[in-house]
Amino acid sequence: MIDARAGDAWRPVERVRAYQHVVDQVEEQILAGALKVGDRLPGERELSARLQVSRAAVREAMRTLEAQGVVRAGVGSGPDAGTVVSAMPSEALTRLLRVHVALANFPVGDVIEARITLERSSAALAAANATRAAMSAIAAPLAAMEALEGGVDEDRRSYNDLDTTFHIAIAEAGGNRLVADMTIAIREAMRQPILASLERLGDDWPAVRRRLSEEHRGVYEAIAAGDGAAAADLVEAHIRSAHARLDGDR
Amino acid sequence: MIDARAGDAWRPVERVRAYQHVVDQVEEQILAGALKVGDRLPGERELSARLQVSRAAVREAMRTLEAQGVVRAGVGSGPDAGTVVSAMPSEALTRLLRVHVALANFPVGDVIEARITLERSSAALAAANATRAAMSAIAAPLAAMEALEGGVDEDRRSYNDLDTTFHIAIAEAGGNRLVADMTIAIREAMRQPILASLERLGDDWPAVRRRLSEEHRGVYEAIAAGDGAAAADLVEAHIRSAHARLDGDR
DNA sequence: CGCGCCATGTGGTCTGACCACATCGAGGTC
DNA sequence: GACCTCGATGTGGTCAGACCACATGGCGCG
C-alpha cells in the first residue's frame, strides 16, 4: 500500500477559480502602479475579453474587490460611471466587523476590550497630534450632545449617533489611519447593539445621558490640554462605565 | 425655480442591487438563528428560485459573503460540499488588511504603531491568561528560531514564518478573539514586506537574527512570569528595534 | 443660439447550457 | 456474501449571449 504521507511532495493541483485570477490580476495592476486610486479599470466586457474569461467571472471578481473596499462600481456614463479603483478600507472594515459582531463570532466582552485598547491609543494620539480643525470636529458633536440635555427624552438615537461621531472624531484626530479605521469599524459595528441597550434603559436614560456627557467633556478637555495619559484613562473609564450602566442591569 | 434643497424629504429611490438583497437575506437568516455555523445553505439553483433572482445574482452575493469570511463554498457532494456558513473573520480580516497594506492605503508607520498597540495588549493579556497549552504554542516557534542559530544563513524565510507563528501564538494566548484576529491580520499583512526587508539585510542578518531571538526570549519569559507590564514593554521595544534595524538602513 | 432627443457605453440582470468534481448506490464479479 | 466498478446524482464553477436601466454627450431641429 502506498503511504500517502510519503507523497508530501505531491500536492493536489491548485484549483484556482477563474474569478480569483481576475482578482489577482487587478491587484497586480494596482501594485505595479498601472492602476491608481481614482482610475477607471477597463469595462467588464473588455476585461473578460482580455483575460479570456466570461463576464460573469469578471463580475464575481468585482464583487470580491468591492467587498474589500478596493473598487467602486457606478452605472451610466460620465466621471462616476464604470468601475473605479477607490481605497475605502474603513467602510470595508466596518462591514466586515459589523457582520461578524452580529453573527456573534466575537464575544461582546472581547469587542469592548478591543475597543478600549484602540480608543486609549486614539485618545493619547489625539492629545499629542490634534489640529485645531480636528478639535473642532470633536467639539461639535460634544456640544450637540450637551444641547440635548433637558430636552425631550426620546433622543436616544440622536445621542447614539452623536456619540459615534464624537468617538470617530477622536480617532481621526489621532492621525493614525489604521488605528482610526479599526476604531471606527468597532464603534460602527456597536452602533445598533448600543442603541438597543439605550432603548432598554427606560427612565434611567436622563441620568445616564447626563453622566455620559460629563465623561465626554472630561475626555475632550484632557485631549485639548494635551494630556495623553489622562485622556486614555478617561476614555477607558468612560467606555467601561457606559457598558456597565447599559448592560449591567440587563 | 424649484429649490432642490427644499426637497430634502425627497431622497432618490434607493436602487438596491439584486445580489445585495441576497446578501441581506442570508444575513437575516443567520441573525434569526435559522442558519448557524456549519449549516449548509440551499443550493444556488434553489436559492435563485426562492428569491426570484438569477443564479448569477446569487453567486455574486456568495462572493461577497465569501470575501467577508461568512461562508465557504465547496464543490462535489458530501459533507464538505455546498455553500456552508462558516465564521472565518480572521482570514477575511487578513485578506482585507493585506490588500490595503499592499495598496499603500495605510502608511507603514501607522501600521507599525497599530501593531504595537495591539501586541502590547496581546502580550499583557497573555501574561495574565495564558494556559499551559498556549505557552507551549509560544515556546515551540521560539525554540525553532533559536535552533536556527549558527546554521545556514539563508533561513530568512523560515525565520520570518516562525516569527509570525510566535507573535500569533502570543495573540491567541491572550484569549481576546478580536484583538487576536486583528493582531494576526496585521502580522500576516506584514509577512511579505518584512521578508523583503530581511532579504535586503545582507551580511548583517546573523547579528540581527541573534538580537531578535534574544528579544523573543525576553518577551516569552515575561509572559511566563505573568508580568504583563514588562511583556508589553518588551514587545514594543522588540517591534520598534526590529523595524529600526530592518528599515533604518534602507 | 438654445433645447430636446437619441446614440453610445456603462454596470446590472437574466436565461440556459455545459463542465469538473465528489459521493452514493446498483449491479456485476469473484 | 464480500468486494469492486461504474454510472446516476447533485454540488459549485464557467460560459455565451441577450436585454435592461441609466447617465452622458453630441447631433439636429426650432
CA distance A34 to chain B (A): 12
Query: Touching check for A232 and chain B: CB below 8 Å?
Result: no
CATH number 1.10.10.10 given to B18-85: yes
A72 CA → C12 C1’, Å: 14
Residue of B nearest to A98 (CA): B68
Query: Touching check for B59 and chain A: CB below 8 Å?
Result: yes
Chain C bases having any atom below 7 Å from a protein CB: 8-17, 20-24
Nearest to A89 by CA among A187, A163, A161, A184: A184
Q: What percent of chain B has a predicted confidence (pLDDT) above 70?
A: 93
pLDDT (tens digit, 9 = 90+) per residue, B156-175? 999 999 999 999 999 999 99
Question: Which residue type occupies B247?
Answer: D
Distance CA B223, CA B231 (A): 6
Give the right CATH number for A90-247 from 3.90.230.10, 1.10.10.1100, 3.40.50.12160, 1.20.120.530. 1.20.120.530
Q: pLDDT at position A1, please?
A: 41
Predicted confidence band of residue B3 (pLDDT cuts 50, 70, 90): very low
3-state secondary structure of A83: strand
* pLDDT at position A234 over 70: yes
* pLDDT at position B132 over 80: yes
pLDDT (tens digit, 9 = 90+) per residue, A64-94? 999 999 999 999 888 889 999 999 999 999 9
Residue of B nearest to A86 (CA): B105
Mean pLDDT of B62-78: 94
Q: How many CB atoms lie within 10 A of CB A146?
A: 16
Distance CA A179, CA A140 (A): 22
Q: A163 near A212, Cβ under 8 Å?
A: yes
What residues of chain A lie within 8 A of the CB of B30, using their CB? 103
Q: pLDDT at position B2, please?
A: 40
Q: B184 near B96, Cβ under 8 Å?
A: no
Chain centroid to Cα A160, Å, comes to 16
Q: Rounded to a whole number, what is the largest CA-CA distance in chain A? A: 82
3-state secondary structure of A35: coil
CA distance A156 to chain B (A): 22
Q: B249 near B207, Cβ under 8 Å?
A: no
Mean pLDDT of A25-35: 92
Point out which residues pair with B82 in neighbouring strands.
B74
Domain ranges of chain B: 18-85, 90-247
Q: B83 near B72, Cβ under 8 Å?
A: yes
Q: Tell me the H-state helices in A32-107.
A: 44-51, 55-67, 89-102
Chain centroid to Cα A216, Å, comes to 21
Q: Is the CB of A81 under 7 A from strand C?
A: yes
Task: Dump the DSSP string for B105-172.
Answer: -S-HHHHHHHHHHHHHHHHHHHHHH--HHHHHHHHHHHHHHHHTTTS-S--HHHHHHHHHHHHHHHHH
pLDDT (tens digit, 9 = 90+) per residue, B175-202? 999 999 999 999 999 999 999 999 998 8
Q: Hey, what's the cell of B223?
A: 509572559
